[in-house]
Amino acid sequence: MGHVNDRPGLPLLSDYTRFLRRHRAPLAVLMVLGLLCGSVWSTRHPAAYSSTASVALAAVPKYVTDSNTQLLAPTVSIDTEAQLLRSHRVMGAIGAALGTDETEAANHLTVTAAPLTRVLKVTITASSPQAAADAANAAVSTLVNVIRDTLGALQDSQLNQVRTLLQTRETEFAKEQARRVVIPETDDLFNEVLQLQASVDELEEARHRPATIMHAADPPRRADYSNREVPMVSGLMLGFLLACLAGAARDRSAFPALSTAVQSINHLRRRTVAGDPS
């Protein structure tokens, strides 16, 4: 009477090597086809290059409004200025450098802010190193002009209003000096004149240089990742898998030991159910 231990074991290494020898022709053909398909796929998806330029934004100075002759606190944050990178002019400059439209250019732009600073890092991803660097530099240089022309605190009208307010306070202070002895260190009007003069200086400086390009973008030497190896190896392995499946379907004797083991287990199960444990 047979025992379970008498049945054949799992397939040997020689079984696999014989299978590969029998089906070496379709294996070679399908693997070469998979390699070619992967190579073609990689050419349609070129490597990506990223280049980063950093710009330091000037703090927005205090300003006045048409209906108020007092200095107001700035309401513009770094987040607001960062949104100007999505403006029509900046997107147009990026698109021109990349040779695409504004909508597509937005997909190539990434903006990050350095913690606890007013520094923005502008990163452009493109299919070539030079295009990525050119687009990043175009973005930050255009941003400087957009900030100067867009923010109300930096417009010429604001600077003229602060200058007018300063002249008014200087005239009032001169009259006070002519009427009485003024101690500058304790006089509120004198301190207001000093504050206005400092505000004019801040506005003029911010108007002249609303942002400073700290680091211009350079063409990257290496791609972010390569798109050639992965598709080619994937195509090669896919061709190998398809060839193995086709060979197994055509030649069921590729795994005879495993088939015999399954039959023995089924036979043992039937005999155990029938009450014969041997």
- Residues lower than pLDDT 50 in the chain: 1-7, 254, 258
Q: Rounded to 5 degrees, what are φ and ψ at 211? A: -155, 155
Q: Is residue 34 part of a domain?
A: no
CB 51 within 8 A of CB 220: yes
pLDDT value for 108? 93
pLDDT tens for each residue of 135-144:
999 999 999 8
pLDDT value for 132? 94
Q: Is residue 31 part of a domain?
A: no
Rounded-to-integer distance, Cα 70 and Cα 61, Å? 13
pLDDT tens for each residue of 224-264:
866 677 788 888 888 888 888 888 777 665 455 545 555 56
In three-state secondary structure terms, 214 is: strand
pLDDT value for 89? 92
pLDDT value for 125? 94
Torsion angle (degrees, nearest 10) of CA 154, 157, 160, 162: -60
Q: Is residue 245 part of a domain?
A: no
Q: Which amino acid is at 259?
A: S
Domain span holding position 101 = 49-215
Helix axes 229-250, 13-22, angle to 10 degrees: 90
Taking the alpha carbons at both ends of the chain, their separation in whole angstroms is: 8
Q: Is residue 255 part of a domain?
A: no
Q: Is residue 41 part of a domain?
A: no
Where does 5-141 show beta strands of DSSP type E? 49-57, 63-65, 68-72, 109-113, 119-126
pLDDT value for 121? 94
Q: Specify the number of domains making up the chain.
A: 1
pLDDT value for 55? 92
Q: Is residue 229 part of a domain?
A: no
Q: Is residue 258 part of a domain?
A: no
State the DSSP H helix or E strand holding residue 213, giving kind and residue range, or none if neither: strand 211-215
Bridge partners (DSSP) of residue 126 are: 49
Q: Which amino acid is at 80?
A: T
Q: Is residue 199 part of a domain?
A: yes
Rounded-to-integer distance, Cα 40 and Cα 232, Å? 9
